[in-house]
Structure 1
Amino acid sequence: MAYVDRSGDMNDSKALEIKTKSIEQTLVPLVTQITTLVNHKEKQRVSEKTCQAIERVGQAVRLAVSKFVSVGEALGKENTEIQDELHEACSEAQVAGNNIARLTDTNSWLSVTMQNSTDKNSMIKAARGLLSAVTKVLLLADRVVIKQIIVAEQKVKKSLNKLETVRNFTEFVQLFSQFGKEMVELAHLTGDRQNDLKDERIRAQMAAARGVLEKSTMMLLTACKTSIRHPDCVSAQDNSAGVFQMMRKAFQMLDEVLTDSSSMTVLVKPKNIHNLLHTIRDVIETSKITQAESNTQDKLVTTLSLVVDATQDFTDSAYTQHEQRERILKLLGKAKLDVNHLVQVGKRIEQGNWERYEDELDTSVLKATKTIDDVKKQLQMTALSQAEEIFRGNDHEGLTNKLKEAATMGQIDGLDSLAEKLMQYSEQLQEACKLMRHVSSKPPLAISLENAENNLIKLSPQLVTAFTTLAINPTSKIAKENVDVFNNAWHAQLKEINTIMKEITDTCTGKGNTKHVYLSLPRPGKHGTTMKSSRPVKLDAEEQARIAKLGLELKLMTSELDVETDKWEDAENDILKRAKNMSSMAYSMYLFTRGEGPLKTTQDLFKQAEYFAEEGNKLFRVFKDFSGLIPERGLLPDELVHHLQSLPSLCQQLHYTTKSPSLGKIQTFAKVNGSIQETKNLLACISHMLPLCNTLAVKYNIRTPHSTLPLWKHGSPFMDSRSNGDDSDSAASALSSKSDGSLLRNIKTIASIDAFDRI
């Protein structure tokens, strides 16, 4: 698919809509500063000292805009399709920045009088022009980011098409290796894009698409290998074809998100029962104010009709208990009577008898509201009980074990009856998903569950096909491997559905106080007071932003450390191994600040930081032994010793921070903040020492003993998320790996950190 520009005219207000968090956060410091300038222009008298301070702010704005413009112009030269638009927007920003500097000149401020409203209007005009121009530049840069993702996606699609036609095993391995690298690149770019999107619904759509690609990559590997190994097996060919189809569907969903067409897909879908009941309840309550006028009457009748139609998913389901079905129908009948009575009262009031029917209107509103609430509770109870029953009353692991046993023994006839049971279980689960989506009060959860259900619909027959291939070729190792991969994917899909259903259950029962999103979506950390008690506390937006900024700094330091470790020739050097291990630990802590990775709670973070401190102490001893092998003193050895002396205290400070008590949200956040900060300080020290050791090791031909002690990486429950396997295996977990393609990186951090934050 070619890159489609859907941004529209940059002079259109809709085209200036901000859809990403990075652009929004970039504009915040600029808005703060120019608001300060405008507010000061309102003052009748300003001291000379204040004038000078304001002048410095104005000059800082001008310099920041100048830097911003230079980067924008450079970006335009690299992307000729938007060069003219960027040049125009940058020129507007430059003019506005200069105007602000002129208006904040000391002479301008001292000349302000009570009648000088023109000066204030000029400042407002310049501020608006600057914000508009800067926003245009950022949105144009955002189009470049989208283009980069689409280009990366096109590479993957091209490789996917080649994989579909290859029949030579050696050629397949080479192509899949290339495909894996391209998938990793795409995962990085889409991961940052997903986390940057503001709309939770669109973010859930993107997460679903990335989730399918993540799961399908390993299935693609084994399914294709099986089809190549058994070219005459129809089920093997169907198996691989099914995976290709799943991946193309995921790419289609990804395209919709990238080109903004998915917003229509999300919003046009029929409303669920929860939304319809919420709507009719609002209309009923506003009847008091509108006196149930004709317009309100029409809304009541229309919305109730939609509610009745939607409840058919509950009453028509073969898995709804008879008693529950009867109660739903009875409550719907009562709702029709109550709403109809309210409509009739409204018609009487329209005839001019308001005072006579005022009390009856209030009574009718109360009765109708209570009935709608009863309908809602009954539908929730029906959906929740059906979801609970399916997971409690079915042994899906035992069923797939029997299927595998029958397939391994080549029992095709026995396989058919077991496969039928699996498909029946899948259908029952699909029904439960449909009802749970209806009662979900959070659109992202409903979207996640619908996509998980769609994946299950595709996976179930695929799993049966994999079992069939093994039954036809019971001695084939690759067919067994293929069954294991599909079986694991199927069970993982069930687990994901179960998790989402539990979250919806929590929201229905009032327990869903913490936000939890699925697949690759960010998961905000849960706060715990002690190791014995881990009551979750929700982070507010400011706390999340502060931690995210610290995490970004930590991630940059791990990247710098990785660059230094790559320079070492002795791969088995104990210093190198432990440094890499600590980089992995720090990276998992960075993922926590994004709501990703193996660390799910703050207690996980504190435990990882504790391991990090202990590993730092071990590295200190290795560094100390190394320094003892240096034959002479000098500038570099002295610098190494200087850093070496500070290492134990840094480890001790981090260890002390992780062990300090934290009671309540404020203390816990402070502990999280301190742990990440101390980790960053310790990592900075190691980053300084590592190149010194490498230089000295080469200069004096020093080799440290190769340690056989297990590193924390192998003993810690918190494993590093970065893949260490070959290309084909790493591609399967590509969408969980680290992401480097953010908007701010692509436009060289214009404004957010380098410029406007310094104003």
Structure 2
Amino acid sequence: MSRNIMKNETIPGALEAVLERTQDFTDSAYTSHEHREAILERSDRLKLELDHLLGLYANVMGFERASLCPEVESSVNACIDAVKELSKNLANAATHQAQELNTATKQGLELVNQIRQQAMVSDINRLHHTSNAFQDSIDHILEVCKLLRHVAVSETLQISAKFTEINLRVYGPQVITAAKTLAAYPGSKIAQENLEVFADMYQWLVSDVTTIVKDVLETSQGKPEKQVYMSLPRPGKHGTTSKPLKSVRLDVDEQEKIAKSGLEMKLITNEMDAETDKWQESNNAQVEENNDIVKRAKNMSAMAFSMYQFTKGEGELKTTQDLFTQAEYFAEEANRLYKVIRQFSYQVPGGTNKKELLEYLDKVPTFVQRLQFTVKDHTVGKAATFTKVDNVIQETKNLMNVISKVVTTCFECATKYKIIMPRRVRIPCATLDGPLPNQLSPQALQRLAISHSGTLPR
């Protein structure tokens, strides 16, 4: 055992950091008495074993071949055993809480439904009581996320748990805020829509929590981690290669950055879905459910969602080339939607609504062009490809954001002026030599020749 490892200022500092994390388990109101006592007992044992080891090593440090002393070796093994026992007890406590999480999440979803109903009828007293219960449910889930982050066996899962905890902490309480706003203004359609958006977002957040819990528990039992980042195959004949893809590890900063980008993408798709749902829920006979604007906007939302899944190592997009190809389709669909809405704008009478629509619409070609330029940028190496992945997601998010505003304004114009919407025109499937097809499919991805080199998901 080398002296630099056994320095007194190194090991006690590491022990202090470990014990500080164990306090999250012992201080948690949801940790059972049995688990708390077991963790405290193992923590005390670890401190005693480590103190014994440091004292023993200090006594023999000046002697030649001190590191080969049997007593030192035995003390080291005792410390290792104590660490393993403490780790096992921490994992057991987290697992126990995770197993109870299903009840907590179901209760949270039920409370959201109650909050929605009470806000609509302005039942302030019940809303206050239910909101407090909902906040307690959120706190419980946050507690589990924090403990799972401590026992996660990989950086990827630790970061996923961290961002899931952050998202829930930030967006969960927004359900309460939106409900109180609706209760104060029960006739406001905007307040009602706002509450629906945050209620849907909470459901998505709970789904993420459930996924993280499952992944952490599976990996703690020795199962392989689900999220794997792979390099791209080099171009060969017909864009194929017989060489297997190689795993690539992202550092912590890269993982956090791509997780943040993915979250922003998901939030934008939520907004787009909320806007397109308005069309289908409208009682106005002039606003047809199968109009071209809604269909193309939903198609773009689905593409953006698959890019969000890519940042989590899920979905049909397996490599960075798949992501770049999807972004190309996304830009093409935005161009088609732009042309449809441009024609629609001719039917809108002059005034504030038309001016707002055209202001948003005129931004679309610029964002489309920026995304296309980013996709075509040639990269070599992990760092450059990672930067390109992040840039592509950011540009897709920016384009999605302006499209969402355009679709919102279109709906307002169609409703206000009772404009008959353009119907969907069937676009035949294209060949590789022809225009890009309307929607990405796994089969099309396999046929595409890969023209980029680099690394990254999945």
TM bin (shorter chain): 0.5 to 0.7
- Counterpart AA for 1:381: N
Query: Against the structure 1 CA distance between its residues 588 and 335, is the aligned structure 2 distance closer, same or farther, given a 3 Å change threshold?
Result: same
Higher relative contact order (CA 8 A, sep 6+): 1
Pick aligned residue for 1:301 from 9, 12, 24: 12
Match of 1:495 in 2: 207
Q: Which runs of 5+ in 2 are unaligned?
A: 233-243, 249-291, 326-332, 342-356, 362-367, 386-449
CA apart distance, 1:355: 7.2
CA apart distance, 1:415: 0.6
Pick aligned residue for 2:371 from 740, 746, 750: 740
Match of 2:274 in 1: none
Query: Against the structure 1 CA distance between its residues 523 and 326, is the aligned structure 2 distance closer, same or farther, given a 3 Å change threshold?
Result: farther
Pick aligned residue for 1:389 from 100, 111, 119: 100
- Counterpart AA for 1:458: V
Match of 2:26 in 1: 315
The 1-side partners of 2:112 and 2:360 are apart by 24
Pick aligned residue for 2:112 from 397, 400, 408: 400
Pick aligned residue for 1:479 from 169, 179, 191: 191
The 2-side partners of 1:314 and 1:359 are apart by 35
- Give 1:573-722 correspondences, 5 Å limit: 595=310, 600-601=315-316
- Counterpart AA for 1:338: E
- Give 1:195-594 correspondences, 5 Å limit: 287=1, 290=2, 295-352=6-63, 358-393=69-104, 394-515=106-227, 539-541=245-247
SS at match of 2:7: helix
The 1-side partners of 2:112 and 2:174 are apart by 13
SS at match of 1:296: coil
- Counterpart AA for 1:343: L
Query: Is the 2:227–2:313 Cα contact (8 Å) retained in structure 1?
Result: no
The 2-side partners of 1:428 and 1:314 are apart by 13
CA apart distance, 1:345: 2.2
Find the structure with the greater CA-based Rg. 1
- Give 1:91-110 correspondences, 5 Å limit: none
CA apart distance, 1:454: 2.3
Query: Against the structure 1 CA distance between its residues 337 and 598, is the aligned structure 2 distance closer, same or farther, given a 3 Å change threshold?
Result: closer
Deviation per CA, 1:175-224, whole angstroms, max 9, x where unpaired?
Answer: xxxxxxxxxxxxxxxxxxxxxxxxxxxxxxxxxxxxxxxxxxxxxxxxxx
CA apart distance, 1:729: 12
The 2-side partners of 1:462 and 1:356 are apart by 58
CA apart distance, 1:596: 6.9
- Counterpart AA for 2:315: K
- Counterpart AA for 1:600: G
The 1-side partners of 2:94 and 2:334 are apart by 36
CA apart distance, 1:330: 0.5
SS at match of 1:314: helix
The 2-side partners of 1:404 and 1:379 are apart by 38
Query: Against the structure 1 CA distance between its residues 523 and 511, is the aligned structure 2 distance closer, same or farther, given a 3 Å change threshold?
Result: farther
CA apart distance, 1:453: 2.0
SS at match of 1:395: helix
Matched residue pairs, number? 293
CA apart distance, 1:465: 1.7
Query: Against the structure 1 CA distance between its residues 442 and 492, is the aligned structure 2 distance closer, same or farther, given a 3 Å change threshold?
Result: same
Match of 1:159 in 2: none
Query: Is the 1:408–1:471 Cα contact (8 Å) retained in structure 2?
Result: yes
Query: Is the 1:338–1:364 Cα contact (8 Å) retained in structure 2?
Result: yes
SS at match of 1:474: coil
The 1-side partners of 2:335 and 2:223 are apart by 34
CA apart distance, 1:419: 0.3
Deviation per CA, 1:357-410, whole angstroms, max 9, x where unpaired?
Answer: 722222212221111111112112212322331233442221111111212222
- Give 1:7-18 correspondences, 5 Å limit: none
CA apart distance, 1:487: 0.6
CA apart distance, 1:516: 5.8
CA apart distance, 1:347: 2.0
- Counterpart AA for 1:372: V
- Counterpart AA for 2:43: L
- Give 1:50-61 correspondences, 5 Å limit: none
Query: Against the structure 1 CA distance between its residues 449 and 588, is the aligned structure 2 distance closer, same or farther, given a 3 Å change threshold?
Result: same
The 2-side partners of 1:489 and 1:349 are apart by 61
Q: Percent identity?
A: 26
- Counterpart AA for 1:387: A
Q: Which has the higher helix share?
A: 1
TM-score, length basis structure 1: 0.33
CA apart distance, 1:508: 2.1
The 2-side partners of 1:721 and 1:513 are apart by 36
Query: Against the structure 1 CA distance between its residues 516 and 501, is the aligned structure 2 distance closer, same or farther, given a 3 Å change threshold?
Result: farther
TM-score, length basis structure 2: 0.52
SS at match of 1:331: helix
The 2-side partners of 1:509 and 1:445 are apart by 14
